[in-house]
Structure 1
Amino acid sequence: MFASNKSTLDGLQAYCRECAAKYYRQRQEAKGKKVREKVPVPMGHKRCPQCQEVKPHSEWERNKTSSDGWSSYCRMCRAERNRIAYFKRKYGLTRAELDALVAEQQGVCCICLSGPAEHVDHCHKTGRVRGVLCFSCNAALGQFKDRPDAIRRAAAYVEGIAWKPTLVAPGVYQLPS
């Protein structure tokens, strides 16, 4: 019931663990700080500080550097935190800004109007975010290297207009207007 304290004669603290914890909590609250409530966790489980759920170790990633050998957050919360950090780092978007972009598009891709808006599209020259697209449309723009002329030719090709260049001179081609 008592923690060790080498500076005392008997080698134990003057107060039991429960009373010491209560006193510590009172001091921290007097300073205006918040102390987490201790939640009982069964063996083979861990409590996630983000979702506040007690989950079995099978829902956690291994982490050799932590004291208990498991990551700080469960797999689901960790993936969400990494996703949010990625959008902030790569595009400068907060979660609220990303949610606003998706809501502005009613959750669908603004090119095909059918796929879910999940992938941030941006200009590779300026870095400016243009919108949120489905995977296929975002990949298509990437394959066209954001070149409007190539995209227009592809659209004309799909519509049945032949864009076959005519050889005018050696090495010189004329595109149909």
Structure 2
Amino acid sequence: MASEEGAKRCVRCGEFRPYAAFARKRSNLDGLQRHCRNCATSVPSRDMESPVLGPADCVAEGHKRCRGCGQVKPHGEWHRKREGFAGRCKACRTAARPAEHLRRKYGLTEADRDELIASQGGVCCICSSAPAAHVDHCHKTGRVRGVLCFNCNAGLGLLRDDPDAMNRAADYLEGNAWKPTLVAPGVYQLPS
């Protein structure tokens, strides 16, 4: 395969592989990485505690090593990206997704959220009956207000966090008249 066109030698494992087995790198003359995709996934990232793997530990064709869990899994266990596969397997990405969402959207860690829930007694701040599971925040300032149950959090969102609308809803539930009253022809008075 050494003399075959469309193949390149990997500097780590020493094998000749087709061009498709190498990731792109524009700064190289041929536009490809020096090592094949299998060898790139077999070497753990710097923050992992395991030692660097040698060429004998290359991953079999059709498989890839996960940066998160370190396991070798078939390509069906990975999300596809434009140039190959994601860095972590589907299971590792799914496990990390809630923590990333909390950090990105609210600036909280899971420990911060759990502390908020504990300070509320583990129940929703509004209904005081359902378990608190959804972080509530002000859409104007981004400040976290507390942790609510799904229904109360959705209710606040549907009423657009408008205190006047919530007061009118409370009046309606208490049986107070909410319809406008006719004061003069064409003039209506809204309940206060």
TM-score class, shorter: 0.5 to 0.7
Structure 1: where are the runs of 5+ without partners?
5-32
Q: Which moved more, 1:111-120 or 1:91-100?
A: 111-120
- Asked whether 1:140 is paired with 2:158, we answer no
> What pairs up with 1:6-25 in 2 under 5 angstroms?
none
The TM-score with structure 1 as length reference comes to: 0.62
Structure with the higher strand share, 1 or 2: 2
The TM-score with structure 2 as length reference comes to: 0.58
Q: CA distance change for structure 1 residues 42 and 162 in 2, over 3 Å: closer, same or farther?
A: farther
Q: Which moved more, 1:40-49 or 1:96-105?
A: 40-49
Distance 2:142 2:102 in 1: 13
Aligned residues of 2:62 and 2:75 also touching (Cα < 8 A): yes
The one-letter code sitting in structure 2 at the alignment partner of 1:143 is L
- Asked whether 1:36 is paired with 2:50, we answer yes
- Asked whether 1:61 is paired with 2:61, we answer no
Distance 1:102 1:53 in 2: 35
1:125 is matched with which residue: 140, 146, 150? 140
Aligned residues of 1:167 and 1:174 also touching (Cα < 8 A): no
- Asked whether 1:173 is paired with 2:189, we answer yes
Distance 2:64 2:129 in 1: 40
2:109 aligns with: 94
Distance 1:165 1:136 in 2: 29
- Asked whether 1:50 is paired with 2:77, we answer no
1:105 is matched with which residue: 116, 120, 126? 120
2:23 aligns with: none
Across the aligned residues of Structure 1 and Structure 2, the Cα RMSD in angstroms comes to 3.2
Deviation at 1:52, TM superposition (A): 4.3
